[in-house]
Amino acid sequence: MTHLKNILAATDLSSPSRQAADRAARLAHTARARLRLVHALSAGTLARLQPMLGLGSALEQTLVEQTGQALAEMATELGAARGATVETALVQGAVLDEIARQAEDMDADLVVLGARGAGFMRHLLLGATSERLLCLTTRPMLVVKQRAHEAYRRVLVPVDFSPWSASLIDLARRVAPGAHLVLLAAYDVPFEGKLRFAGVEDTAIEQYRVQAQHAATQQLQALAGSANLQPEDWTPCVVRGEPSLAIVEQEQECDCDLIVIGKHGQNMAQELLLGSVTKHVLAESTGDVLVSTATQA
């Protein structure tokens, strides 16, 4: 297991994004990682101001300088509070493009942002904007919803036994090295509705359910073994039902403060970025969500 080395935290200087930056600083301190705090001045915002202020006006320059000062002050406060070295980057341009560019520039192992914000992140997770950002970068993205009072304690990792499942466990251990993992496998009887329509008896369908549960449990044990998880490191969670609902339900049932999900898989995760699972989890989960954007297992 490799440790985090470079972390990028995007901020619009609002209170929710400060929570995200604080979480990033905590992670950087624990991993002794490099942390870059990025604020992007939207080209659209500056363009709208120019008719009033004038191109290259003193007021426009003052706006840039004051924003840079506020960013530097946030970095200083975080560094003092969390024992982390925080560098800053004030950039101008298309916000999401600039975040992705900064992540590539520093070879970020993790991009951290708040679930809500005052400016460009106000609706970041509510539609096409979030999908675009997730598609723009191949870096894991941590969406912070809660104030970081402590390190992550329990992490929910939904798996579907595709080649990407093992990488989700590795990512969870990198971001939350001291946390207890809850490995979630959601199962169901294939074509159960069609079986009922064909007149298959309930006792037979129930037997198929038991078989599916047993198979999922065995696969979960094998996955944990291949990831070198010790019995005290993890808890199995095998439930029947639709994955997106099961994830949110088990987050509460298992008292987890972080969910780790991926965009690749053979069933529930196959269309995760553009389908309903990610949208549902990001919208309905209580705790933070870590999305793996890896394109290879």
Superfamily classification of domain 6-144: HUPs (3.40.50.620)
Residue 202 to residues 153, 187, 194, 240, 249, Cα–Cα distance (Å): 41, 18, 13, 16, 26
Domain ranges of the chain: 6-144, 154-292
Predicted confidence at residue 269, as pLDDT, reads 39
The CA distance from 182 to 167, in Å, is: 15
Q: Residue 248's CB: how many other CB atoms inside 10 A? A: 18
Question: Which residue, among 102, 109, 39, 108, has the nearest Cα to 75 in the 3D structure?
Answer: 39
- 3-state SS of 223-246 is HHHHCCCCHHHEEEEEEECCHHHH
Site of tokens 């979960």: 220
Which residue intervals of the chain are DSSP H helices?
Answer: 15-31, 43-53, 58-82, 95-105, 128-136, 165-175, 192-197, 202-226, 243-253, 276-284
Per-residue pLDDT of the chain (297 residues; tens, 9 = 90+): 678 999 999 998 888 789 999 999 999 999 999 999 999 887 655 555 555 555 556 666 777 888 899 999 999 999 999 999 999 999 988 888 899 999 999 999 999 988 765 554 444 444 445 556 777 778 999 989 999 999 999 999 999 888 888 999 999 999 999 999 999 999 875 555 555 556 656 676 567 778 888 999 999 999 999 999 999 999 999 998 888 899 999 999 999 999 999 865 444 434 444 446 777 788 889 999 998 876 555
Torsion angle in degrees (nearest 10) through CA of 150, 115, 173, 227 = 140
Decide the pairing of beta strands 141-144 and 154-158: unpaired
> Fold identical between 6-144 and 154-292?
yes
* Phi then psi dihedrals of residue 101, to 5 deg: -65, -40
pLDDT at 101: 93
For domain 154-292, give the CATH number.
3.40.50.620
**pTM greater than 0.75 (yes/no):** yes
